[in-house]
Amino acid sequence: MPAYEGSCHCGAVQFRIAAEITDVYRCDCSLCRMKGALMTTVHEDAFTLLSGADSLSEYNWNTGIARHFFCSKCGIYPFHRKRAMPDHYGVNVHCLTGFDASALAVRQAEGRGMSVRAKAARDLWTGPREA
């Protein structure tokens, strides 16, 4: 199993994932669209925070289930705990050392429909849409 180490820009937050990265995606919810990250998903057992827990800031919104983490020093978004799969992390592959995503097709994930808790919002997320 390949392993990748990652960090925020200033290096205060460091982490490792042990995963074969075959899927990268961009989500179209307002937060993901604005931060512009390229993501992959890993199970929590494949994710290790090596250092910097005290440097992480957490942002929650809407239902408060997803937990978005940012470095409080440099502002970079390295990962989040997923709303639709709370036992998984979404990892910003741009934060991984030595990982080149250019050979992978970028999938578009539908998050816009789960972003706002409007009267017409669906109760169950149907999953990512196919490219």
Per-domain residue ranges for the chain? 3-111
* Helices and strands (H and E) in the chain: how many: 1, 10
Q: How sure is the predictor about 33, in pLDDT bands with cuts at 50, 70 and 90?
A: confident
pTM value is 0.82
Q: How far apart are CA 65 and CA 50, in angstroms?
A: 23
What's the pLDDT score for residue 63?
A: 76
pLDDT in tens, 41-78: 999 999 999 999 999 999 987 777 889 999 999 999 99
Hey, which bits of the chain come out as E strands? 3-7, 14-18, 24-27, 39-43, 47-51, 56-59, 67-71, 79-81, 88-92, 106-109
Percentage with pLDDT > 70 across the chain: 84
> CB atoms < 10 A from the CB of 4, how many?
19
Average pLDDT of the chain?
86
Q: Which CATH architecture has domain 3-111?
A: Beta Complex (2.170)
Structure tokens at 22: 């075959």
